[in-house]
């Protein structure tokens, strides 16, 4: 079988002669023209009156002959119609070509449509999880003091299971939890073996990072602060909604500074009570930050501040080039849709989770939106965790989505 005007086998059952579509189109046009002429003749013959010179019986005879010719043309036209429809139909090659084009278009567009649906689903789940955690933690009397820390012979705090105690004795009373896993069985609660960071530059093996010190080197500082030496083991749990949560816990977290903030510096390690890394769909993919992976950080044991920052990824190593506060705020608004400078707790959370964001060991300080005076705002060092006030001068910028 051939496409276009090539020969096709057409006609009624039993017919087998070859038929040319182009010839049929010309013949069909001529037949239709004759048919119209005959119909006009019938109309003219029937309108003649008895007073005309042609006898009445001849009028009837002429009309009958004309009707027979028209009827014969109609029969011929019906046969031609069958041949015509055979010409205007689709060949198998044309159908296959059309299906191929449809398949290619579908292969191009479906991933994009599926991705948009997943993004909306993850955004909805992320907001719902953050709301549940905020409500649950607000119901807890305090976030510190769970579990018992032990000391070795030198007086250093040793690794302990206080994170698991925090979940079982505290969080489980205000949040629906289905399963709890200790640091040696994190994968049993759906914690993925590898996740992709916000920058996509490396994979983190979370199931092997059983302490904050292993997760982020800023928590193994040797500056003499005893809180930095806590080696509490991580824990994991699964919520009733199917999320998998990894928790790092600091039972000695302290309150927010109440002195004049323009003269106070402190380390965020002392303020972080609990750091949660969540996976919205358990061990399923894509296991990528900003999609199914995210963080929730809880600061200060009472009057806690719960944040879940969503940083905007910039291409340069240290966020944006260093700039003044005013230019930093402007940069976030103009460079990204719906972006802004992070507030202090969001920036502290971003520093604590710098490995997840691909921003660990950056020496520069970063701007926060917290203004402490007409000339100063708060900054955070991603390398040491130091939080400090600084005059509105040059600093690095990292924006977050609203």
294-313 confidence digits (pLDDT tens):
999 999 999 999 999 988 86
Question: For residues 24 and 105, which has the higher predicted lDDT (pLDDT)?
Answer: 105
Q: What is the DSSP string of 174-237?
A: TS-EEEEE-GGGGGGGT--S-EE-TTSS-EE-GGG--BHHHH-GGGG--SS-GGGG--BBPEEE
30 or 344: which leads in pLDDT? 344
Going by pLDDT thresholds of 50, 70 and 90, the confidence category of residue 9 is very low
The answer on pLDDT for 320 being more than 70 is no
Distance, CA of 357 to CA of 351 (rounded, Å): 9
287 vs 7: CA distance, rounded Å: 58
- What's the average model confidence in pLDDT over 240-262? 87
- pLDDT band at residue 130 under the 50/70/90 scheme: very high
**For 153-166, how does the pLDDT look when each residue is reduced to its tens digit (9 = 90+)?**
766 666 678 999 99
Reported confidence tier of residue 23, pLDDT bands at 50, 70, 90: low
What is the Cα–Cα distance from 313 to 358, expressed in whole angstroms? 9
Q: What is the mean pLDDT of residues 26-40?
A: 60
Given pLDDT bands bounded at 50, 70 and 90, which one contains residue 31? Answer: low
Asked which of 17-21, 132-136, 242-246 is least confident by mean pLDDT, the reply is: 17-21
The three-state DSSP-derived secondary structure of 231-296 is CEECEEEEECCCCEEEEEECCCCCCCCCCCHHHCCEEHHHHEEEEEEEECCCCCCCCEECCCEEEE
Contact 306, 215 (CB under 8 A): no
The 3-state DSSP class for residue 152 equals: coil
Look at residue 315 in the predicted model and tell me its pLDDT.
47
- In terms of C-beta distances under 8 Å and separation of at least 24 residues, what long-range contacts does 5-14 make, across chains too? 5/87, 8/86, 8/87, 10/82, 10/83, 10/86, 10/87, 11/79, 11/82, 11/83, 11/86, 12/82
How many other CB atoms are there within 10 angstroms of residue 379's CB atom? 23
Q: What is the pLDDT of residue 278?
A: 96
At 131-140, the pLDDT tens digits run: 999 999 999 9
Confidence at residue 6, expressed as pLDDT on a 0 to 100 scale: 45
Would you say 83 and 10 are in contact if contact means Cβ atoms under 8 Å apart?
yes
pTM here is 0.71
Q: Output the six-digit token pair for 393.
A: 């001068």
Q: Which H helix or E strand runs over 388?
A: strand 386-391
Give me the pLDDT at residue 309, please.
Answer: 93
């Amino acid at each position: 079988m051939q496409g276009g005007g090539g020969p096709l086998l057409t006609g009624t059952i039993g017919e087998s002669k070859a038929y040319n579509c182009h010839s049929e189109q010309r013949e069909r046009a001529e037949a239709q023209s004759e048919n119209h002429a005959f119909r006009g003749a019938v109309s003219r013959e029937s309108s003649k009156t008895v007073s005309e010179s042609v006898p009445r019986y001849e009028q009837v005879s002429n009309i009958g002959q004309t009707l027979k010719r028209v009827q014969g043309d109609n029969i011929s036209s019906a046969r031609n119609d069958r041949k015509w429809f055979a010409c205007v139909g689709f060949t198998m090659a044309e159908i296959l070509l059309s299906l191929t084009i449809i398949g290619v278009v579908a292969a191009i567009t479906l991933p994009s449509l599926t991705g948009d649906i997943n993004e909306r689903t993850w955004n909805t789940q992320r907001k719902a999880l953050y709301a549940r955690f905020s409500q649950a933690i607000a119901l807890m009397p305090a976030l510190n003091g769970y579990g018992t820390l032990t000391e070795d012979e030198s007086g250093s705090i040793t690794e302990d299971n206080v994170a698991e105690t925090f979940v079982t004795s505290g969080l489980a009373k205000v949040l629906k939890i289905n399963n709890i896993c200790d640091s040696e069985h994190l994968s049993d609660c759906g914690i993925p073996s590898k996740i992709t960071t916000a920058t996509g530059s490396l994979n983190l093996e979370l199931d092997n990072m059983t302490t904050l010190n292993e997760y982020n080197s800023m928590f193994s500082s040797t500056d003499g602060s005893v809180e930095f030496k806590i080696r509490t083991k991580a824990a994991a749990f699964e919520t009733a909604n199917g999320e998998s949560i990894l928790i790092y816990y600091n039972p000695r977290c302290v309150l927010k500074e109440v002195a004049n903030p323009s003269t106070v510096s402190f380390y965020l390690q002392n303020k972080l009570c609990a750091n949660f890394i969540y996976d919205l769909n358990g061990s399923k993919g894509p296991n990528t930050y900003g999609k199914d992976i995210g963080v929730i950080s809880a600061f200060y044991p009472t009057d806690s501040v719960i944040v879940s920052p969503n940083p905007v990824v910039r291409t340069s190593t240290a966020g944006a080039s260093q700039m003044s506060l005013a230019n930093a705020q402007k940069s976030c608004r103009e460079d990204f849709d719906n972006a802004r400078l992070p507030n202090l707790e969001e920036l502290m959370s971003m520093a604590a989770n710098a490995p997840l964001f691909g921003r660990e060991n950056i020496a520069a300080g970063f701007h926060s939106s917290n203004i402490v005076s007409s000339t100063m705002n708060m900054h955070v060092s991603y390398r040491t965790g130091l939080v400090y006030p600084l005059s509105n001068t040059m600093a690095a910028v990292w924006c977050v989505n609203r």
